[in-house]
Structure 1
């Protein structure tokens, strides 16, 4: 049953990083699992495979972001975003706690990604 949208909350996904710290836990009061000693990232909204965000509140709790976009389409992400990306949410929204020098991240252009990673 489609009851309409409401302000959605998602369960964050915490990522341990060698440069991470404890600010997400101590300052922002995030519920970082005790198994993570150096939390470098809190993925707030993600459509990354194996890490797709799940709703934590209301009657849509338990549904993931891809499922929501399939049902609510442009009502959730905007018509132009839905027309361009479909159910593939184009953003990764995360908070970073860098207590040390960050590790390098390289993002190849489309041609290099296809050639090297077949992606």
Structure 2
């Protein structure tokens, strides 16, 4: 082991709050968090993140008070691992969060790497995984294409603002998990709180925008499967 490897230890990070106009107080209630603001809804807590303007801060041990970005700068491959560095460079590859979808989320997709590059983004595409923690009785999510969906049917539905009709609806329960590859349409009707592990990308494309902006020639929609 190198000296840097010997100094590393399991790290606990302070969450970063995100508010997007949805969410409630489920994250606070589920995890008995006592140090979060009491006067507004919380959409997400980013539990581990290193992005421009947002980097998790260590809460324990000798590295307390240091940001994840600073740790990566100092420890590099000893922290990230050789394979991660070979694939992503000195960039933390994941964003890990709790997401309060007790209220509905919009119909959306995330681009693949090719589409993200075509959009001129510095972020990669985004594949993500959801693990259901809290579920209101009868709650459903929509994800993936309905059987037999063809491009023309999808395009017409997008132009009408009816993308949900092209997705599979699935009833959910605590403990259910979903792997949503980049380009997979998805929607939450509300009533769920989930743990999300995703590629370190913050690109979200609202499908209902297509009805107003059109589809052809727009790099944002090239990743729809």
Q: So what's the TM-score if we normalise by structure 1?
A: 0.82
| Partner residue, 1:7 | 10
| Partner residue, 1:75 | 78
Count, aligned residues: 118
Higher RCO, 1 vs 2 (CA within 8 Å, ≥6 residues apart): 1
Q: Specify the SS of the correspondent of 1:27.
A: helix
* Structure 1 outlier segments of 4+, above 6 Å: none
Q: How does 1:10-89 map onto structure 2 within 5 Å?
A: 10-30=13-33, 31-35=35-39, 37-89=40-92
* Alignment root-mean-square deviation, CA: 2.2
| Partner residue, 1:113 | 116
Q: Which 5+ residue runs of structure 2 have no aligned equivalent?
A: 123-225
Instruction: Give the structure with the higher percent strand.
Output: 2
Q: Which has the larger radius of gyration?
A: 2
Q: So what's the TM-score if we normalise by structure 2?
A: 0.47
Question: Aligned to 1:95, which of 92, 95, 98?
Answer: 98
Q: Specify the SS of the correspondent of 1:94.
A: strand
